[in-house]
């Protein structure tokens, strides 16, 4: 299954080639104009029938959050830094793959001979153990600047629920591949961008959008669900509402986040399209975070954008959970949007 292959591939921001190769192979029979741009984003055209004169960019980012090797201790432990956003509390004791050779390792806290400390350690004070017994030994296995990813399996938890890493945003990549693999052309031209470096500042999509010159764009994302009760949740703290979105609640539409505000008419069109086709959907309840739409909508003279996300629990951790029912609903919505978009819905009233 493609989602499994994409989820288990390593692709920390700036080093997305393994993911790019999988996608290239999956889409090449179904598209033209395959291109890898100067930053590494993979773009392609699925030519439309010409019935509707729109160039629609569909974006999904290939990169995942992870780490980068920043140094070596004399005892062979590895220093590292975050690539993308992390909560340090989830890191201790986790299995990782280190460097180009995917050397097995585990994240330690500060060695015990520095004393016990109940406080959460910042990443700069954490170390990774790859079983090397000296600095030279570690340096022969791993190089400075190489990436580190979580060592996670993809597991079916039930008929519809799966667990794996990097669903943010490999689920978007998988959806976009499915859109491109459709036999019949869409009325519009679909400009696909499998973008790099989203997690470090929406960088790849910006460059890709400047080159593709779309009339309208849809960012396909894996977003936080946060729909499980937390024992320590403060019911009076409304800054992060619970839930942000619900797993099995259908695709998530964004009206506003920290990077972007959806054009009301375009958002209303997306909601209407879902309702007309009986597709459950939800509106994202948190206003934080950002997506590639945050960069794309301000390229050139501006691009109207939508964000369509899959609700995923525990993103930016070694294992997230999503629903394949949501997947089918999200795919159906994106295809219906492509069949229904018109120049009118991207015009402001
Ligand atoms: Zn993302």
Tens of pLDDT along the chain (349 residues) come to: 899 999 999 999 999 999 999 999 999 999 999 999 999 999 999 999 999 999 999 999 999 999 999 999 999 999 999 999 988 889 999 999 999 999 999 998 666 666 666 678 889 999 999 999 999 999 999 999 999 999 999 999 999 999 999 999 999 999 999 999 998 999 999 999 999 999 999 999 999 999 999 999 999 999 988 777 665 566 566 555 567 889 999 999 999 999 999 999 999 999 999 999 999 999 998 888 899 999 999 999 999 999 999 999 999 999 999 999 999 999 999 999 999 999 999 999 8
- In this structure, the answer to whether residues 334 and 271 fall within a common structural domain is yes
- In this structure, the answer to whether residues 194 and 340 fall within a common structural domain is yes
Does residue 156 belong to any structural domain of this protein?
A: no
Does residue 159 belong to any structural domain of this protein?
A: no
Q: What's the CA-to-centroid distance between 225 and ligand 1, angstroms?
A: 13
CB 262 within 8 A of CB 305: yes
- In this structure, the answer to whether residues 307 and 275 fall within a common structural domain is yes
- In this structure, the answer to whether residues 60 and 115 fall within a common structural domain is no
DSSP state of 193: E
Does residue 241 belong to any structural domain of this protein?
A: yes
CATH of the domain at 38: 3.40.630.10
Residues of the domain holding 54:
2-64+165-346
Identify whether 243 is preceded by a cis peptide bond (ω within 30 of 0): yes
Strands 189-195 and 55-61: parallel
- In this structure, the answer to whether residues 8 and 101 fall within a common structural domain is no
Where does a domain end: 123, 150, 177?
150
- In this structure, the answer to whether residues 14 and 87 fall within a common structural domain is no
Closest residue by Cα to residue 217 from 230, 206, 227, 228: 206
If you count them, how many residues does the chain have?
349
φ and ψ of 193, to 5 deg: -130, 110
- How crowded is residue 26: how many other Cβ atoms within 10 Å of its Cβ? 19
In whole angstroms, what is the distance from residue 267 CA to residue 261 CA? Answer: 10
- In this structure, the answer to whether residues 175 and 76 fall within a common structural domain is no
Q: What's the CA-to-centroid distance between 48 and ligand 1, angstroms?
A: 27
Place of tokens 């979580």: 150
For residue range 113-159, list pLDDT tens digits in order: 666 666 788 899 999 999 999 999 999 999 999 999 999 999 999 99
CB 332 within 8 A of CB 279: yes
- In this structure, the answer to whether residues 39 and 91 fall within a common structural domain is no
Environment of ion ligand 1 (residues, CB < 5 A)? 168-169, 221
Q: What's the CA-to-centroid distance between 273 and ligand 1, angstroms?
A: 24
- In this structure, the answer to whether residues 102 and 250 fall within a common structural domain is no
Sign of CA dihedral 88, 93, 94, 99: positive
Place of tokens 């993809």: 154
CATH of the domain at 106: 2.40.30.40
Q: What's the CA-to-centroid distance between 236 and ligand 1, angstroms?
A: 28
- The number of distinct structural domains making up the chain is 2
- In this structure, the answer to whether residues 41 and 96 fall within a common structural domain is no
What residues are labeled active site? 198
The edge-to-edge listing of strands for the beta sheet with 305-312 is 32-36, 42-46, 189-195, 55-61, 216-224, 305-312, 252-253, 282-283
Does residue 179 belong to any structural domain of this protein?
A: yes
Q: What is the pTM of this model?
A: 0.94
- In this structure, the answer to whether residues 54 and 188 fall within a common structural domain is yes
For residue range 237-274, list pLDDT tens digits in order: 655 556 788 999 999 999 999 999 999 999 999 999 99
**Encoding tokens for residue 317?**
């951790």
φ and ψ of 237, to 5 deg: -90, 105
- In this structure, the answer to whether residues 108 and 128 fall within a common structural domain is yes
Does residue 158 belong to any structural domain of this protein?
A: no
Q: What's the CA-to-centroid distance between 284 and ligand 1, angstroms?
A: 14
Place of tokens 């432990």: 77
Closest residue by Cα to residue 282 from 294, 296, 297, 270: 270
Does residue 160 belong to any structural domain of this protein?
A: no
Where does a domain end: 150, 181, 215?
150
| CA count, 13 A, side-chain hemisphere, 313 | 16
């Amino acid at each position: 299954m493609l989602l499994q292959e994409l989820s288990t591939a390593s692709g920390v921001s700036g080093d997305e080639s393994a993911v790019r190769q999988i996608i290239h192979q999956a889409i090449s029979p179904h598209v033209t104009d395959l291109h890898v741009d100067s930053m590494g984003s993979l773009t392609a055209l699925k030519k439309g029938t010409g019935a509707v004169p729109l160039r629609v960019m569909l974006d999904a980012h290939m990169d995942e959050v992870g780490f980068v090797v920043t140094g070596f201790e004399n005892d062979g432990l590895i220093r590292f830094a975050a690539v993308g956003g992390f909560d340090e509390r989830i890191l201790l004791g986790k299995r990782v793959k280190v460097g180009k050779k995917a050397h097995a390792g585990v994240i330690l806290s500060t060695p015990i001979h520095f004393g016990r400390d109940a406080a959460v350690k910042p990443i700069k004070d954490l170390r990774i153990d790859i079983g090397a017994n000296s600095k030279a030994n570690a340096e022969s296995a791993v190089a400075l600047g190489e990436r580190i990813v979580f060592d996670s399996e993809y597991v079916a938890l039930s008929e519809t629920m799966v667990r794996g890493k990097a669903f943010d945003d490999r689920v978007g990549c998988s959806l976009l591949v499915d859109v491109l693999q459709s036999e019949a052309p869409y009325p519009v031209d679909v400009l696909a961008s499998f973008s790099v470096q989203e997690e470090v500042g929406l960088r790849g999509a910006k460059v890709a959008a400047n080159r593709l010159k779309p009339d309208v764009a849809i960012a396909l994302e894996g977003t936080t669900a946060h729909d499980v009760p937390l024992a320590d949740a403060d019911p009076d703290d409304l800054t992060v509402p619970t839930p942000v979105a619900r797993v099995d609640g259908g695709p998530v539409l964004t009206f506003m986040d920290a990077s972007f505000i959806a054009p009301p008419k375009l958002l209303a069109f997306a909601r209407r399209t879902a309702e007309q086709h009986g597709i459950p959907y939800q509106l994202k309840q948190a206003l934080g975070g950002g997506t590639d739409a945050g960069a794309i909508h301000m390229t050139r003279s501006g691009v109207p954008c939508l964000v369509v996300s899959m609700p995923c629990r525990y993103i930016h951790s070694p294992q997230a959970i999503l629903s394949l029912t949501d997947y089918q609903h999200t795919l159906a919505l994106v295809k219906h949007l492509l069949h229904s978009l018109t120049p009118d819905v991207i015009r402001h009233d």
